[in-house]
Structure 1
Amino acid sequence: MIVKHPKANGSQSMSLTRILMEIMMVASNNNVNNENLIWLDMEMSGLLPDSDRILELAAVVTDANLNVLGESPVFVIHQSDAVLDGMDAWNKGAHGRSGLIDKVKASTTSEQMATEQMIAFLKEHVPAGKSPMCGNSICQDRRFMARYMPELESYFHYRNLDVSVFKELARRWKPEIYAGFKKASRHEALADIYESIDELKYYREHFIVK
């Protein structure tokens, strides 16, 4: 809202509006950085992109030092009863306990709608093609994204930043460090992202030689 001084004319009011818009654009652009990292997690109905579908996704943006800069909405994707009924026992149990199955049935969000809104969020923080896709076993999420959300997949750099690499190396080289990080594994997109960020912070402190 623009508060207009009683003596201000129309041109002065428009000038003030333009100044405020420019200030907002500069502030927004200051958040965009090539070095920012996009962390992502999906929950799926199974492991096979050709037959299973995306149920939920979310993203968190951090700076290069893993400080959180922004958090996307959690997108729950509507899927048919046939998709949900076709899940195996493990997925039905995990997604039933978390309440995700009921959320999927109630959702009106499609893959395309989620794609458009997620890209709009990412543009506020990272230019296209700059951030690797960050997360745990993130190649699996990327396979589903390439299949069902190709526009979103192409927003990322072709590289991945997979925390699972550090996990597997620690398990073989430093099992005591591997044992020191306990995961809750809630199988909820946003919670799992923050757990991945915390896990990389742990390995940065205890495993990566400075």
Structure 2
Amino acid sequence: MNKYVWIDLEMTGLDPNTDTILEVACLITTPDMKPFDAGINLVIHQEKRVLDSMNEWCMEHHTESGLVEACKASNITLSEAEARVYKYILGHSCKAGRNYLAGNSVHTDLLFLKKYMPSVASTLHYRILDVSSIKIIATDWFGTNVEINKKKTHRALDDIKESIQELQNYRSTIFK
């Protein structure tokens, strides 16, 4: 059975060459989008200088969401977070390279995973289930906007749950 590995990252920006990961969440579902469990959500410790270097958008939203303070308080390193997410994925009998990465605009997350969490990236198939692409097609081809009322908390696990709900809505309205 295929498994969808929903991953969302909150980062200091969008450039993996200059930015880093603040938070990672992962939730594994069946193709019918039924979760196997509640998922994993980890806030990564970052030094003040890293947090202070964020662009204005990130600073505003990550401060408002409480993520900045959570990063300061966290004792989880980036390598520990990588190991825990990797173990979580393998714990669901996911075979390396066989799992579809899923989420909204996950190509950006994948770039960060390849750089900062290569063991996690190694578990993923080269095919990606990008809900954002489905949103574009639904709007452009069908004139259908089935977006959900997102909370926009800009926290990783919340974003995953909203992406799953959004895909479920597309499935029930377009892919009947």
Question: Using a 3 Å threshold, how does the CA distance of structure 1 residues 184 and 85 change in structure 2: closer, same or farther?
Answer: same
Matched, 1:130 2:98: yes
What aligned pairs does 1:176-195 form with structure 2 within 5 A after superposition? Answer: 177-178=144-145, 181-195=148-162
What amino acid maps onto 2:174 in structure 1? F
Matched, 1:148 2:116: yes
Q: Are the aligned partners of 2:147 and 2:166 in contact in 1 as well (CA < 8 Å)? A: no
Cα separation, 2, equivalents of 1:85 and 1:180 = 33
Shift of 1:73: 2.6
- Measure, in 2, the Cα distance between the counterparts of 1:118 and 1:149: 9
Comparing 122-131 and 187-196, the one that deviates more = 122-131
The 3-state SS of whatever aligns with 2:10 is strand
Structure 1: which 5+ runs fail to align? 1-33
**CA 1:147/1:184 → structure 2, altered by over 3 Å: closer, same or farther?**
same
Same amino acid, percent of matched pairs: 38
Q: Distance in 1 between matches of 2:56 and 2:5?
A: 31
**Cα contact 2:146–2:166 (8 A) shared by 1:** no
Alignment match, 1:77: 44
Residues of 1 paired with 2:4 and 2:29: CA distance?
5
Alpha carbon RMSD of aligned pairs, Å?
A: 1.3
Structure 1 distance, partners of 2:86, 2:169, is 29
In the alignment, which residue of structure 2 is the partner of 1:62?
A: 29
Q: Which has the larger radius of gyration?
A: 1
Q: Is residue 2–residue 100 contact of structure 2 (8 Å, CA) maintained in 1?
A: no
| In the alignment, structure 1 residue 111 sits paired with structure 2 residue 78 | yes
Mark the runs of 5 or more structure 2 residues left unpaired by the alignment.
none
- Bigger fraction of residues in strand: 2
Q: How many residues align?
A: 175
Residue 70 of structure 1, CA deviation = 1.9
Q: Which has the higher helix share?
A: 1
Structure 1 length-normalised TM: 0.79
Deviation at 1:90, TM superposition (A): 1.1
Bigger RCO (CA 8 Å, 6+ sep): 2
In structure 2, relative to structure 1, the CA distance for the partners of 1:94 and 1:180 (3 Å cut) is closer
What is the CA–CA distance in structure 2 between the aligned matches of 1:70 and 1:164, rounded to whole Å? 24
Which residue number in structure 2 is paired with residue 170 of structure 1?
Answer: 138
1:203 pairs with 2:165: no
Partner SS state of residue 68, structure 1: coil
1:99 has 2:66 as partner: yes
Residues of 1 paired with 2:88 and 2:147: CA distance?
Answer: 34
**Cα separation, 2, equivalents of 1:87 and 1:131:** 32
Task: Report how far residue 94 of structure 1 moved.
Answer: 0.5
